[in-house]
Structure 1
Amino acid sequence: MFETSSTPHPRRSLLARGLSFWILVFILALSPLPFASVRPVWIHLSGILVAVALIAYLVQRWQTGRAIPSIPWPLRIAGALVALVALWGYVQAMPGWLTAWHHPIWSETATLLNAPDLIGSLSLTPERSILNANLLLTYLGFGLLVVWHSRRQRNLDLLLKIFVGAQAVYALYGLSVYFSDLETILWFDKTAYRDVLTSTFVNRNSYATYAGLGALAALVLILRFLRQTLTADKSHRTRIREFVETLTSTGWLTPVALLICLLAVLLTQSRMGLTALLIAGTVLLIGWTMRLPAGQTRRLGSILLSLLVVLLVVNFVLSGGLTADRFARLFEQGDGRFTVYPLMLDAIAERPLTGYGLGSFESAFRLVRDDTVMGFFDRGHSDYLELIMTIGWPAALALMLAFLVPLLAAWNMSRRRTEIEPALLSVAATVQIAVHSTVDFSMQMPAVVFAYLLLALAAFGTWHDSASLPAETDQRPPDAGIAPA
């Protein structure tokens, strides 16, 4: 990004963002490092860091005499629904509550252990239900931080650039491990997916989701720069000259990050990861093109967009053969998860309202699996079915609605904003997650959720309605130009 001569000192500008901002960055950049932060110790650490960041933000606002920013109404609805689901998780874990709805396994266990005083709960694994309920509250706090800090455009720009940079680093690490045949994650030997790219993740599908979000963020930075170039009140020759100057200086970094993330997704050989990314990317590109001003600007945008699509196709042709082979084997050999889904549907039919307990899939599935299932399944390979199975239909629908409301609000924002890219990014990120979650469990990885929350909620930082505070603007002249890197 080009800066004007009157820009404040960089160090002073960085420190002014406050402790909570940098904790947000820390979680965002480093959560993928310890196996996507899926282990309980990292989940607890994330919760502590988010709590500290929230306190630091509130203290900072109090010290500066500024009110707490209001939350846009779509996010108030979504947050309330998530909080209710978290509360239901705690209720499921409470011993002795709603005993008439307890699973028979509790009475059978009491009989086997000759322990008549054994107190059961709605959840088969109360400790995991509490852990997952705590995690939902951590996500709520993280989302609040994203929305509050994104009220400043420069914060949003910096967050997206840091996110894309981190994505490129993790993708480069994954590529180096993949092409060196090390078959390790950091200094640990891989226990699965030894012949594919997983970066610091254990599961290739989860990493494909994560890298796909990075590709979408990089694409949005590029599209924003293209729109600003196309709509600038300058001659065509000046636009082309500035465009070339940008690409030959710092502007090449983001396109390279995009290509690296796309290559990483392809080398994961995740079929649904690639499919979800292509669908989300298509939604993003079509929405962006249609929202350009009609006439020559839209035609120029379509041409540049076509060139970008050609580059993506070339990338797929050069490195997508392995993923294409997996698609072919799917139709020839089938997929083991499709033998699991009918059993999950049977389990849902047995306890449609209460579920088996938030986070209790592994224990619940042991009660319903049969000889048709080969291998070990500690997750349902469908976030939708697993969600319904563990918390019941009412709570699952509430959580799905918590995603749908911001999605529709972001789509509406993209129709009436000048800065359309953040809103379209929110839509595309939700589409990618929604598609991939049908047959995988990427949203059970905290690193993926943190990345998704950034992309899905950042656009709401500048939301305005009659109840919200005025947007916080930077007290400095605007940038002379904005490069995509």
Structure 2
Amino acid sequence: MPVEDRRVDELRQPGRRDPAPPRPLFRERDGEGAGLAGTTRLVLVGRTLFILALVLCIALRGAVSPLVLLGVVCLVGVSLAVGALSPPVAAATLRSYRLCILVAGGLALYLVFQSWSFLGNPFANPLWSRVDRLLGADVAAISVAPATTRGALFTLVAPFLVFSAGLALFQRDEGGVVLLRWLTAMGVAFAVFGLLQVAFFPRSLLFSEKTAYLDSLTASFVNRNTAGTFLGVASFAVLTLALRPVRQGEVRYSFFGLLTDPDAPAPQRRSAFLMLSCLFAILFALFLTRSRGALLATAIAYVAIIPFLILDSGGSRPPAVKGARSRLAALGRPAAVAVGVAILTLGVVGLFGGLTIHRMETRGVDAARLCVYWSMLDAIGQNWRFGTGFGTFESVFPIYRSAGCGAPGDVFLRAHNIYLEALLGLGIGFVPLLIGGALHIVGNFVAGLRRRRSMRVVPIIALGAVALVALHSLVDFSLQIPGMAAFFAAYLAAATTISLGRGRGSATSRRP
């Protein structure tokens, strides 16, 4: 008998087990209730470093200091290395994870290319030839400020690292919910500190003195617009947790069901009221920022998603009740709660949002910003191929600034339009990067709308958050603040994990 046949017969003998497949380095237990009990120590270490990095980003003025940003990137990098030992299991999530790392690496190499100076550089900015003739400077780089472009590398790459680490460390539905809870806690803490700041210490930024926007809530950030965008995204994180259906035995309760059904479990009812209070506190703080752009973008995003949330609310409801009168009462209680919350919100707007609304009415459109945008178009037209170097707006803009842009002594550090500033810094390559990234993110959430049933609220609300940030980026630079960008990237990671999780067509593993 050949050796191969004898070996096969031996393996087929009764009582003999087949060799086990190789085990992963670590794995997490499936199920909604697995939580920390199903997470290995290594993953817990990675999650701890990840959360610590986010807290530092938010607490230390948005990590605008290069030293703080370096520490944050190191923490996120280590957490990403831990997550890389067991990348996402779901095929679609794994695809996003790999694509994000690839884009981050490509952007880092491109910034190095922009800041690389060598003799005879055919792509060098024409400005350097003039400098060479006048001063004899031996520099030939794409970037007009190579050191600035190299220094901006971490600012550009950090959100991609946060998103990738979030996908790897917070897998499956339970992992995404854990991350959402942390983000909610950060958002509520930010709002509460901001309210205390306005009431008791308006000149404090937690660990430093506040010198600007003394009449507005900024919490630990310097700029009120950044604080407004942060609070808007935080409100969506709270809303996601609040509207997520809660299962108790064979019954699945909706958020309004927990608020209105007297037979709902007491712990879940308390949690629902707590979520409502957190949402109210965050929106209250948002009004006190007096940020026109953030308030308007948040309002548009809520108006866009509320109809879809109402349509989806039929998917999870309290136990069926008998009788027409009982059914009418069951339908009327959620409506009464909704009306009550709306009246309360309008009251808060009338009492505390008057300054913001008055600012919208009196100032309207900022003429100086429109002038900056027109000047930016001229600068982009002359540097459209490779850009002027990422992060060089402050150095380039004075060359193209129109005479009527603000007062003569005004200094513009940002373009107040992320798209125009990125296009100026990166060149035409930014356009396919922006379109491809937006389509990928939105595509993930659209896939979640098709796959998920009970968790469909997650992609719906996530699309609203994307709309909020995309709209506000037209008139502000919030995503250029590392703390804000990292928080938003972490929220996208949690929403993506849940959207691409279990459901029809999901490739998520269900092994024990």
CA distance, structure 2, for counterparts of residue 68 and residue 294 of structure 1: 27
CA distance, structure 2, for counterparts of residue 335 and residue 225 of structure 1: 46
Tell me if 1:382 matches 2:417.
Answer: yes
1:94 paired residue among 95, 113, 116: 116
**1:18 to 1:189, Cα distance in 2 relative to 1, 3 A:** closer
Report what 2:363 is aligned to. Answer: 330
Cα contact 2:245–2:253 (8 A) shared by 1? no
**1:468 to 1:72, Cα distance in 2 relative to 1, 3 A:** farther
Report what 1:55 is aligned to. Answer: 81
**1:13 to 1:146, Cα distance in 2 relative to 1, 3 A:** closer
**1:148 to 1:472, Cα distance in 2 relative to 1, 3 A:** farther
**1:381 to 1:34, Cα distance in 2 relative to 1, 3 A:** same
Superposition deviation, residue 382 in structure 1? 0.5
Instruction: Determine helix, strand or coil for the equivalent of 2:128.
Output: helix
Report what 1:156 is aligned to. Answer: 176
Cα contact 2:115–2:142 (8 A) shared by 1? yes
CA distance, structure 1, for counterparts of residue 450 and residue 335 of structure 2: 18
Report what 2:47 is aligned to. Answer: 21
Instruction: Determine helix, strand or coil for the equivalent of 2:424.
Output: helix
Report what 2:57 is aligned to. Answer: 31
Cα contact 2:163–2:490 (8 A) shared by 1? yes
1:351 paired residue among 378, 383, 402: 383
What is the total number of aligned residue pairs between the two structures?
A: 460
**1:54 to 1:373, Cα distance in 2 relative to 1, 3 A:** same
Superposition deviation, residue 47 in structure 1? 1.6
Moved more, 378-387 or 454-463: 454-463
CA RMSD of aligned residues (A): 3.5
CA distance, structure 2, for counterparts of residue 237 and residue 100 of structure 1: 66
Cα offsets for 1:442-468 (capped at 9, x unmatched) = 000111111111222223325269998
Cα offsets for 1:167-201 (capped at 9, x unmatched) = 11111111111122532212432232121111010
Report what 1:470 is aligned to. Answer: 508
Tell me if 1:408 matches 2:408.
Answer: no
1:285 paired residue among 302, 306, 309: 306
Superposition deviation, residue 151 in structure 1? 1.8
Within-5 A mapping of 1:51-90: 51-59=77-85, 61=86, 71-73=93-95, 76-77=98-99, 80-90=102-112
Tell me if 1:452 matches 2:488.
Answer: yes
Report what 1:4 is aligned to. Answer: none
CA distance, structure 2, for counterparts of residue 457 and residue 97 of structure 1: 43
Tell me if 1:438 matches 2:474.
Answer: yes
CA distance, structure 2, for counterparts of residue 329 and residue 400 of structure 1: 36
- Between the aligned residues of both structures, percent identity stands at 24
Within-5 A mapping of 1:205-220: 205-220=225-240
Superposition deviation, residue 203 in structure 1? 0.6
Report what 1:193 is aligned to. Answer: 213
Moved more, 47-56 or 453-462: 453-462
The one-letter code of the counterpart of 2:303 is T
Cα contact 1:47–1:135 (8 A) shared by 2? no
Per the normalisation by structure 1, the TM-score is 0.84
Superposition deviation, residue 389 in structure 1? 1.2
Report what 2:128 is aligned to. Answer: 106
Larger radius of gyration: 2
Runs (5+) with no aligned partner, structure 1? 1-6, 476-485
Within-5 A mapping of 1:307-326: 307-326=340-359
The one-letter code of the counterpart of 1:321 is G
Superposition deviation, residue 272 in structure 1? 0.7
Cα contact 2:143–2:149 (8 A) shared by 1? yes
Tell me if 1:203 matches 2:223.
Answer: yes
**1:57 to 1:172, Cα distance in 2 relative to 1, 3 A:** same
Superposition deviation, residue 228 in structure 1? 8.7
Report what 1:122 is aligned to. Answer: 142
CA distance, structure 1, for counterparts of residue 168 and residue 316 of structure 2: 37
Cα contact 1:464–1:470 (8 A) shared by 2? yes
1:262 paired residue among 250, 259, 283: 283
Superposition deviation, residue 309 in structure 1? 3.8
Report what 2:463 is aligned to. Answer: 427
**1:269 to 1:201, Cα distance in 2 relative to 1, 3 A:** same
Report what 2:22 is aligned to. Answer: none
Cα contact 2:287–2:352 (8 A) shared by 1? yes
Instruction: Determine helix, strand or coil for the equivalent of 1:189.
Output: coil
Superposition deviation, residue 96 in structure 1? 2.4
Moved more, 418-427 or 127-136: 127-136
**1:294 to 1:185, Cα distance in 2 relative to 1, 3 A:** closer
Superposition deviation, residue 24 in structure 1? 1.4
Higher relative contact order (CA 8 A, sep 6+): 1
Instruction: Determine helix, strand or coil for the equivalent of 2:468.
Output: helix
Instruction: Determine helix, strand or coil for the equivalent of 2:270.
Output: coil
Per the normalisation by structure 2, the TM-score is 0.80
